[in-house]
Chain A
Amino acid sequence: MTGRPDAALHDIAVIVNGAERRARVIPRLLLADLLREEWGLTGTHLGCEHGACGACTVLVDGDPTRSCLVFAVQVDGCRVDTVEGLAGNGPGLHPLQQAFRARHALQCGFCTPGILMTLVAYLRLHPSPSETEIREALSGNLCRCTGYQHIVQAALDAAVAGRETAPPA
């Protein structure tokens, strides 16, 4: 990812989905671009680039974060979790992903990774949400395809399942 010689390059080390990765970045490189262009983790998508749609949501130190509003250089030393890491190392799906499939909670799939990451973080802190609470938690993630109903149902299903199993490492 080269460009004009911007200011100094910064070396960063990030724990991405549990494994360390390093990069040398210009200051203005967005975290989303670091993930997608440098590291080929294209599961995180850019829908608006001004912090409104939530498609770019990843976890930074466990918090749902719009990766279009964070510079790569800012996550040096941080943990970043993306949708590619949700299913862990096995062949199966994370319970939330399974619930999404079972409920037809995705159509084009573009907003889905951002929604999954938002819900993973939310459900860890709120294991027994009401439907209204889930809708409010999702209010920062736009979906144009589904009308949200199946997403909400899937989230409620996953909350129930989650109360019965431990979250993945």
Chain B
Amino acid sequence: MNKRRLVVSGDGLLSKRISQHLRDFHTADSVTPRRSFLRNAASMAGLGISGLCIRGLTQAAPDDEGRGNGKNVLPKPIPGGVSPLGIFIHHFPVVPTGTPLQNLTEPSQITDFKGFVGLNRIRGAGTGKGFPALAFQADLGFLKGIFIGQDGEQHHGTFGFI
């Protein structure tokens, strides 16, 4: 495996981002998603690890070939999604193998995006400390291309869905 170390951590711009998110994605006809997001965001605020970190996002900067400077730019989420456990998320799980491609749901997590995309789901087995037999599910994906960021500018980036 490549030995590249990435860091995911929190940042402190939650209130501003919540307001922006609600303006952008949650209008009066989407009460349930708004309520769910507020519950989620409020929880994040309480633990102080909200959102994607600025430090993490700046890792996209060397890949940026768009008009924007690529620093501290948050991609925008797709407007649609599903509600596992009754909580709305901006994501569609991959369609099961054998589903006609014409019934494909959006595999991207980023909207205003053009480029390569991948998504999967794998269920398997493994072992862990204190557990001779465990089961896992992995939903992974990628996005590589151009996108209109939260700043309204066009950027180029490579992202992992993990």
A and B held together in a complex: no
Show the binding face of A for B, using Cβ within 8 Å: none
Show the binding face of B for A, using Cβ within 8 Å: none
